[in-house]
Structure 1
């Protein structure tokens, strides 16, 4: 899998409690056409799916489950974050190195300037780490 540092949310980020991704993406402001009073609407991918990978890189132990949420906001502080996608809660017993959370593409509704992931952890895991980012494609064989 090819990961680009500029499109990386988390790099082997240890998760023992609910946390935001180490990094967020600044998608920049949309342009405003010269003859229009409003900025253009953001359309990530222009109708083409943009793959998003969130993969376990260190086995989770302890705890109950982990959910990966895709969040967007109009400010870098994420003071009014909007969740636009979710993996759903995945049981810790499933979270072994190599597991890919079911977030195949950046979801519709990711229309604001900033994007991050939020890891919602249930229980108290004692170990586990995730690497996540935008990728050119999701590897589906072994």
Structure 2
């Protein structure tokens, strides 16, 4: 297998509470420290980007696994939450909670419901980003199947 490279350019002209920019492929945005951490809250921030990476990797992995398994769906959506702890000035990315909502076709069988749950759980350990942060950030999953 070949290695894949992804490139990002960052520019930070100021001090801690200023605003910078990043650009990587289709992603081009301003970045700053979030207001929760006494920053200006302009553009996005590392906390949102890590959550975004984990969430998009998970949901794409789950969709691909469902497709490979022949499990049809009406819809797939998800809410994700990041919990970041600030204790005595030490900031720790503590936990990511994914809440996927899988809407199966009308009349889906019990086997299809079981398969959807199995794939939702497996996608978490199969996602590249989940594997990259494993052991550092706790992952929690709350699956809803309709």
Same fold by TM-score greater than 0.5: no
Higher relative contact order, structure no. (Cα contacts within 8 Å, ≥ 6 residues apart) = 1
How does the TM-score come out when normalised to structure 2?
0.29
Structure number with higher strand proportion: 1
How does the TM-score come out when normalised to structure 1?
0.30
Radius of gyration: which is bigger? 2
